[in-house]
Structure 1
Amino acid sequence: MDQEIAPFLLFTENDYPLDTPHLRMELALKPDLTEDSDCNLNVTIQRTRDMHEEQCIFHWNGREDGCGPLGFLLFRYTENGLCKINIDMDSHLSKPLQTPFAVDGFNYTFEVAPEGNVGFLITLPKRYRKELKTGAKYELVWPGGEIAIWDWGTINQYLGHELGIKSPKICLPAARVTLEFTEPGTPKLSVVLECEKTVPQYSKGPVKISVTYEAAPESSPIIFHTAPFGSWYGPREGFRLYRRRGDLWETVEEDDSCYMIVDEPDIAVNVVQDENFAGLQPGQTWTTSERLDGHLPDDVTAGDLFRYVFKGVEVDWWDWGGNTEHKNTTVKLPCFINGRVVEPNDNGGRQKLIVPASNSVEFTIV
């Protein structure tokens, strides 16, 4: 788990009590979520190898246990790493389950054999969904919890009999799933950064930038302008560098104030032939790099800790199709090339392609 998430975890796979079944949770979501789609969470509870051959039954209510005050946590990717979002639980009114209760085969009671599993759907309540914004990236985290109502046996053996709290409780360790909302009708691109953990003070190595087109194999290829993944720096997009100062991360402001006067005509380029455009098939990755030269402050010293992150970006030009479809497609760039597409200036009327923030990478100067 990321260092921002770890302090919020209650139970991990190191916390299994003796004489209990060993359960673990797996979470999955549809990869193409939009603000208008149902946010259904696929939950699988799997029993891993333990010391017992008996089947077990347990009670776990996804709406109350999963989405209640001790349930799922939501984190958003930001330029400072993962940030926890406070979910409003004041509107969540529930009555505690009266125990013991008579087993009837329903009432969120499940049965699982050794190395077996059970699965079900949970629709995320509105209090979670209202926090999700198009183009942003999130981690939905089960912090780990305990299942108090359980026993050895099967549901059939317990039908008509009472099931209550048993000690020790079952441990259900932490789990997580990545969640993104995309614009309907746009491709999904994700960015991953990589760099060395240590960087020599006078040899500022590169950060590797990987842009992946996440789509089903039968999806259409895409072509896009790659300049937004270079050195663009805006209020809400581009790359950011932070230096650790005590317990805080301080933004490193770049001293690159300069201007140029250009009065040359825009340049027409073919999007297949020009190096500032890339085409991807579903699942393919385009890579580039960003050197740290010029980004680090003048007073950097050995031992300084830095964090580098891509905040996300709006791609100014993209289209469906590959090299064959676009062999005759031309657009216009400014005369200095490394700028936004100027014609067409509206991406041909296609919807905005918002790429969410990347992971953050940290390195120490040596």
Structure 2
Amino acid sequence: MDQEIAPFLLFTENDYPPDTPHLRMELALKPDLTEDSDCNLNVTIQRTRDMHEEQCIFHWNGREDGCGPLGFLLFRHTENGLRKINIDMDSHLSKPLQTPFVVDGFNYTFEVAPEGNVGFLITLPKRYRKELKTGAKYELVWPGGEIAIWDWGTINQYLGHELGIKSPKICLPAARVTLEFTEPGTPKLSVVLECEKTIPQYSKGPVRISVTYEAAPESSPIIFHTAPFGSWYGPREGFRLYRRRGDLWETVEEDDSCYMIVDEPDIAVNVVQDENFAGLQPGQTWTTSERLDGHLPDDVTAGDLFRYVFKGVEVDWWDWGGNTEHKNTTVKLPCFINGRVVEPNDNGGRQKLIVPASNSVEFTIV
């Protein structure tokens, strides 16, 4: 076990008491976990070679013993090693088993032969799952424990009979499994536009732009480059302005006659500190505005009806995680700042984030 985990371990394979079955735990999880999938833990309790040839039975409740106050621990991989995460156990209502109890073949009673094993599934409770973030890596650790309710024999031999605490107790040594949520594609961003119904001819007439991160509350936060939601204008992305001409909407063409020549080095920026990047928690909204002056045609007159819409865009840089995860993340922008991220030029290999078109807003010039 890692040095960060070792102080939390209660029992190892060096702690088997004499005259008890030698049990060990193996843990497994599906390799393609996402935040939307069931977090089912496959638990196998194997009996290794010991001094006894007879079978044994024991009681072990995955919900109470595995996920209770003395159960599984959660550690997160960080740049500085493994960090223990405190699990909120206040919501856990423990139901102690009354002993002795009558064996009926159920009640989490298991039977295992020499060098045999038993297996079952445990669904990690919400108090564990809410701590897990997409893209992060964790270690789920069984710190080791004792099984007090056990005896030699089979379940059939004990059916209808009482089973209680036996001394010495069985030692169930420490075990661990790596847990990692894969990135479920890309985050979902939506755009909504708002503006006044009437706009004075010589007014700046701003349009309010709201970008919302649509995700379940327990999802990972995200951080992204906001420039694509500004003045970018491409053949298939960005903002479009239309003017009503009779029964048709006519595209108002942008004036592309201006240009600039730049020969300065690219600028490195911190994505948490730079104003051209924004972080969002699930359900949060980032807002900006776009001025209409400069977009309206020169021959605009009172009574003209316009429609404004965001056609959608590909976000050039984004990543999972919030300010804590990205406090040391830097990227490079062109020297004139308001351009695509130039390094990394492939968004670090992450999938393309395509934001769909927004609603349209209409306004009349007065």
Compute the TM-score of the two structures, normalised by the length of structure 2.
0.55
Cα pair distance change 1:31/1:337, threshold 3 Å: farther
Instruction: Report sequence identity in percent.
Output: 98
Query: Secondary structure of the equivalent of 2:95?
Result: coil
Q: State the shift of 1:72 in Å.
A: 0.2
Question: Any conservation in 2 of the 1:81–1:359 contact (CA below 8 Å)?
Answer: no
Question: Any conservation in 1 of the 2:135–2:320 contact (CA below 8 Å)?
Answer: no
Query: Secondary structure of the equivalent of 1:191?
Result: strand
Q: State the shift of 1:255 in Å.
A: 46
Cα pair distance change 1:329/1:139, threshold 3 Å: closer
| Aligned-CA RMSD value | 19.6
Cα distance between partner residues in 2 of 1:277 and 1:81: 28
Cα distance between partner residues in 1 of 2:108 and 2:132: 28
Question: Any conservation in 2 of the 1:182–1:354 contact (CA below 8 Å)?
Answer: no
1:171-223 superposed Cα distances (whole Å, 9 cap, x missing partner): 00000001111211379999999999999999999999999999999999999
- Which has the higher mean CA deviation after the structures are superposed, 64-73 or 240-249? 240-249
Q: State the shift of 1:342 in Å.
A: 3.2
Question: Any conservation in 2 of the 1:21–1:50 contact (CA below 8 Å)?
Answer: yes
Cα pair distance change 1:162/1:354, threshold 3 Å: farther
Alignment of 1:143-292 (within 5 A): 143-185=143-185, 263=263
Q: State the shift of 1:123 in Å.
A: 0.2
Question: Any conservation in 2 of the 1:34–1:183 contact (CA below 8 Å)?
Answer: yes
Query: Secondary structure of the equivalent of 2:348?
Result: helix
Structure 2 residues without counterparts, runs of 5 or longer: none
- Which has the higher mean CA deviation after the structures are superposed, 143-152 or 181-190? 181-190
Q: State the shift of 1:353 in Å.
A: 10
Q: State the shift of 1:84 in Å.
A: 0.6
- Which has the higher mean CA deviation after the structures are superposed, 183-192 or 115-124? 183-192
Q: State the shift of 1:256 in Å.
A: 40
Cα distance between partner residues in 2 of 1:246 and 1:45: 77
- Larger Rg belongs to: 2
- Which has the higher mean CA deviation after the structures are superposed, 284-293 or 192-201? 192-201
Cα pair distance change 1:180/1:298, threshold 3 Å: farther
Question: Any conservation in 2 of the 1:137–1:180 contact (CA below 8 Å)?
Answer: yes
Q: State the shift of 1:6 in Å.
A: 0.3
Cα pair distance change 1:323/1:94, threshold 3 Å: closer
Query: Secondary structure of the equivalent of 2:178?
Result: strand
Question: Any conservation in 1 of the 2:209–2:290 contact (CA below 8 Å)?
Answer: yes
Compute the TM-score of the two structures, normalised by the length of structure 1.
0.55
Cα distance between partner residues in 2 of 1:167 and 1:250: 87
Structure 1 residues without counterparts, runs of 5 or longer: none
Cα distance between partner residues in 2 of 1:283 and 1:255: 37
1:115-148 superposed Cα distances (whole Å, 9 cap, x missing partner): 0000000000000000111111110000000000
Q: State the shift of 1:312 in Å.
A: 29
Question: Any conservation in 2 of the 1:79–1:357 contact (CA below 8 Å)?
Answer: no
Query: Secondary structure of the equivalent of 1:297?
Result: coil
Question: Any conservation in 1 of the 2:134–2:220 contact (CA below 8 Å)?
Answer: no
Cα distance between partner residues in 2 of 1:354 and 1:298: 33
Aligned residues: 366
- Which has the higher mean CA deviation after the structures are superposed, 351-360 or 99-108? 351-360
Q: State the shift of 1:52 in Å.
A: 0.4
Question: Any conservation in 1 of the 2:133–2:220 contact (CA below 8 Å)?
Answer: no
1:69-94 superposed Cα distances (whole Å, 9 cap, x missing partner): 00000011112211111101011012
Question: Any conservation in 2 of the 1:136–1:356 contact (CA below 8 Å)?
Answer: no
- Which has the higher mean CA deviation after the structures are superposed, 356-365 or 174-183? 356-365
Question: Any conservation in 2 of the 1:136–1:357 contact (CA below 8 Å)?
Answer: no
1:36-79 superposed Cα distances (whole Å, 9 cap, x missing partner): 11100000000000000000000000000000000000011112
